[in-house]
Structures are given as structure tokens and as C-alpha cells.
Amino acid sequence: MTTRNAYLAGMKPSPLTVRILSAAVFLGLVLIGVYAGIYGVYSLVLILGGLALWEFLGLSEAMGSHAPAWLLFPLGAFFAFSGTVLKEIDVTLVLALALVGGLAGFLVVPGRRQGLGRWAMGLAGALYIGMPFNFYLLLYTSKPHGLVWTLFTILAVIANDAAALLVGSRIGRHPFFATISPHKTVEGAVAGVVASVVTMLIGASVIIGLPPLHAIAIGVLVGVSALVGDLVESQMKRIAEVKDSSHLIPGHGGVLDRLDSILFPPILVYFYLSMFQLIHW
């Protein structure tokens, strides 16, 4: 190895550095989109949702039932905007068309012998990715404090992931769903939920001024649903026998690998806030 090549090799960033920088850039772009206003958020949904659907398309083939792109992408986009931009379109009508038209399509398109499985995979993928974005948009456009609820839901998930990784890697001893994700521990999972609660106490109690009990309840919902979301995507990858959903983000894998934990929390946060009439439109 020449002196110059050795110098360049020494300059190569470590995997941890790459991971941290990629996460910072990804989070920065999300925050820019959120603070850019409603059109910035719409752009984020289209870009991140589109990439996640594309990655799910690849995973579905590896899982044994290749989702039809002609069903997955339009249906995923509709679900993502079904509560805001496309709220005038009846969801029941769209689902009925997806049922009749989707299954009828497999009478004539290639792969019709696997039609039912492929149709089910396409519908599942559209719901799995599209509906969470719909609830983020509903949170963002709600009053009062829609922006704060959106940001702190995301931040509570980030805190969950960071605490679970730190505590689990340092003192984790008891496996948690080892058959799905071998590196997860009970200690890490508990630390993650606690971190979500602390984050929501700051957001809901200190900034918004809600009673601490509401903040604790929402923090628990975010922490548990983030963990479930992570495990669900891990199970998909294990079935597909892949490590990552793609290689789009250096050090992290794919977009879906970064979104897995944040997909379910907005649904529970939205329904909790609606149930106690803490938000309106």
C-alpha cells in the first residue's frame, strides 16, 4: 500500500461515524420539511412514502407474494392523503374498487395463479405504509399545537430507539423476541419506553401544558407502538431473509428501516388526543 493510499485509508470514516452522520442528515431533512409548512410536509410524505413503498415491493417478492405495483403505489398514496387532500373521496368506495378491480385484474394479468396472495400483499403494504402517514398529516393539521404533536411524536420515537440501543448494548441481559430480533433485550425495551415518556413529559406537559398523566399515557403508547413497529419490520426482513430493506441510507439500510419505529405511534397518539378532545380541526 502506498503512503497516499494508507493516508486515505486512515481518513475513511468508521461505520459508527457514517451511521451518525446519515441519521443527522436524514433527521435534518425531515425537520426542514416539517418546518417548511404544509407543502413541505406533503413533499416529505410523497418522497419518504414512495421510497418505503418501493422497498416494500422488493421485500414482498422475497416474502413469497410479489405485491402488484399498479395496486400498491396508487392505494398507498390514497391512504396517505385520505384524511387531508383526498378526504372528499370515500374510503369505502376506494376499498370496494380495490377489492373488485384488484382481484378481477388477476384474471388476466401475468401471475394470476398467485393472484389472491399478491393482491393481499399489495393491500397490506398500502395500509402498512400509507395509513401512518395519513395520521401524521392529521396530527400536523390539527389545532392546537399540531406541529408540536407531530415533532414530539417523532422525537419520542428517536429517544426510544437511542435509549433502547444504549441500555440494551450496555446492560441488556434478557432477550426480547429473540426469534425475530436477536439483539433486542427487555432492559433496552423498558429504557426505550421510559425515554419516550420523558420526551412526552417535556413536549406535552412543559411546552403544551397538559396534565402529566396525559403525557405519561401518550409516552407509553408511543414507546410500545414504536417497539411493535420495529419488530414487525424485523419479522418481514427475517421472512424475506434480508438484513436491510435497501441500501439507500449509508450505515442504516433503507428508508423503511428508519421509518419502522415511527409508523405506528401517530395512529395511537391521534386517537388518544381525539378521545380526550385535546385536538380539533
List, for residues 227-243, the tens digit of each pLDDT value: 999 999 999 999 999 99
What would the pLDDT profile of 55-71 be if each residue is shown by its tens digit? Answer: 999 999 999 999 999 99
Average of per-residue pLDDT values in the chain: 92
DSSP secondary structure letters along 111-142: TGGGHHHHHHHHHHHHHHHHHHHHHHHHHHTS
Q: Over pLDDT 70: what percentage of the chain? A: 95
Query: What pLDDT, on the 0 to 100 scale, is given for residue 30?
Result: 87
- Would you tell me the crossing angle of helices 115-140 and 146-171 to the nearest 10 degrees? 120
Q: What is the pLDDT of residues 116-148, one digit of tens each?
A: 999 999 999 999 999 999 999 999 999 999 999
Residue 162 CA to residue 188 CA, distance in Å, equals: 9
Query: What is the residue extent of each domain of the chain?
Result: 16-275
pLDDT grade, residue 10 (50/70/90)?
low
8 Å CB contact between 204 and 215: yes
* Rounded (10°) CA dihedral 84, 86, 89, 95: -100
Closest CA to 35 of 155, 148, 144, 129: 148
What is the reported pLDDT for 108? Answer: 85
The per-residue pLDDT for 38 is 95
Residue type, 225: S
